Amino acid sequence: MAQIRLAQLRKVFGKVVAVRDLDLEIADGEFMVFLGPSGCGKTTTLRCIAGLEQVDGGKIFIGQREVTDRPPGQRGIAMVFQSYAVFPHMSVFENIAFGLRLRRVEGAELRRRVADAAELMQIGALLDRYPSQLSGGQRQRVAVARAIVMRPQVLLMDEPLSNLDALLRLQMRAELRRLHREIRSTTVYVTHDQVEALSLGDRIAVMKDGEIVQCDTPARVYDAPASRFVGSFMGNPPMNFIEGTLQRGNGRLTIVTAGISIPLPPGLQAGAPPAQITLGIRPEHIGVEAAAAPDLIPSMVIVAEPVGPQKLLTVSVGPQMLKVSVPSEFPVDEGQPVWLRFEPARIRLMDSRTGIAL
Ligand code: ATP
């Protein structure tokens, strides 16, 4: 197994800087997720690690070795792609055995390793079938088995679940977690699905415009987004934002927006805050009351959507819309007032100009 280190990695396509001087260390055995919107450079970074792209600057280390100019075959990596890329004319057994045969692994050793990989992916009973006789989920299992049978130091996965339907995705996600616990290969996993990122990653590197804007544990990325971009990209519905002016009075900070004052909890310090500020808070961290009380923020329900055990409310605070959720039996309807309480510890303040968290 091996750690991965990217140092000032740069990749340019014509005028597009796909990867912008990126620094990152991935620990031995870690499951790292690259997450970000389409075109942010996730796949390109992964392909650079794999050796499928020549870099325009920087260095790549796998283990103690620099591999920047080495071909893919000498990097100790295996890849799983979105398109399963299994060979249609080969049985499942031969698909899994393919890379081993290239390495001249034969006989009992070959059979044992194929059987072990198939067992891990729970496709041991399918070894005689051909890909056309498999479901999408089974094909993707074959593709994963074909990668892990090589016992790679590093496993690279590019949106491996995105061709599967929702239920299968859920199942395979749990499978990949289990698999990683068992084989502990250093894994880099590309996705634009935040739920996948939150559930799979030891850490998530959130990318934007070829850069990593935050790299941290799922809990930290979710609870303490480094910027407005991260807060709005993670979470469904995403984090709420309120723009306002920060004022200080009676030893307390208040955000003023369109004539409404939102007192910030005592003890919340903003250092030397900028004048224009963005308050970020996740929907689940806003309490909703049916009656007014001191320090609650008045708002009006614009839309009430039933979503299973919850009701998702779109409420207005002055000119700004927020999403909050209440239990489905909460007695409220569109056009009615409600009062909001922001959980103090969950408030995230950002500089409105830069979007960066204070
Ligand atoms: P997606 O989720 O859509 O796959 P991504 O984050 O993986 O997006 P990349 O595929 O890494 O993004 O692309 C990063 C940028 O580089 C994009 O602007 C893309 O158009 C550009 N790009 C990628 N590959 C090439 C290529 N072979 N030639 C020219 N431009 C490319």
Dig out the tokens for 133 from the structure.
């006789």
Over residues 170-179, mean pLDDT? 87
Q: Which of 124-128, 129-133, 164-168, 307-311 has the lowest mean pLDDT?
A: 164-168
- 27, pLDDT greater than 90: yes
What per-residue confidence (pLDDT) applies to 269?
A: 62
The per-residue pLDDT for range 208-220, each reduced to its tens digit, is: 999 999 999 999 9
Report the nearest atom of ligand 1 relative to the CA of 192.
2
In this predicted structure, what is the pLDDT of residue 271?
Answer: 64
The answer to whether 85 and 77 are in contact (CB under 8 A) is no
d(CA 14, CA 17): 8
Query: What's the whole-number mean pLDDT along residues 292-317?
Result: 91
Each residue's pLDDT tens digit, 248-303: 777 777 888 877 777 776 666 656 677 788 999 999 999 999 998 887 888 999 99
Span from the CA of 45 to the centroid of ligand 1 (angstroms): 10
The answer to whether 315 touches 300, Cβ cutoff 8 Å, is: yes
State the Cα–Cα distance between residues 213 and 206, nearest whole angstrom: 6
- Ligand 1 in contact with 35 (CB < 6 A)? no
Whether the CB of 11 sits within 6 Å of ligand 1: no
More confident: 255 or 17: 17
Q: Is 18 in the pocket of ligand 1 (CB under 6 A)?
A: yes
Ligand 1 atom closest to residue 43's alpha carbon, by position in its atom list: 7
Comparing 45 with 355, the larger pLDDT belongs to 45
Indicate if ligand 1 lies below 6 Å from the C-beta of 38.
yes
pLDDT score of 175: 85
Nearest atom, ligand 1, residue 47 CA? 11
Q: Per-residue pLDDT for 189 more than 70?
A: yes
pLDDT at res. 1: 65
Q: pLDDT digit string (tens) for 346-357? A: 889 899 999 998
Residue nearest to atom 10 of ligand 1 (CA): 43
pTM: 0.89
Percent of the chain with pLDDT over 90: 61
| Separation between Cα atoms, residue 18 and residue 15, nearest integer Å | 9
Q: Give Cβ neighbours of residue 86 (< 8 Å, ≥ 6 apart).
A: 95, 131, 139, 142, 143, 146
CA of 332 to the centre of ligand 1 (A): 46
Q: How many residues appear in the chain?
A: 358
In the structure, what pLDDT confidence band is assigned to residue 8 with cuts at 50, 70 and 90? very high
Confidence of residue 137 (pLDDT cuts 50, 70, 90): confident
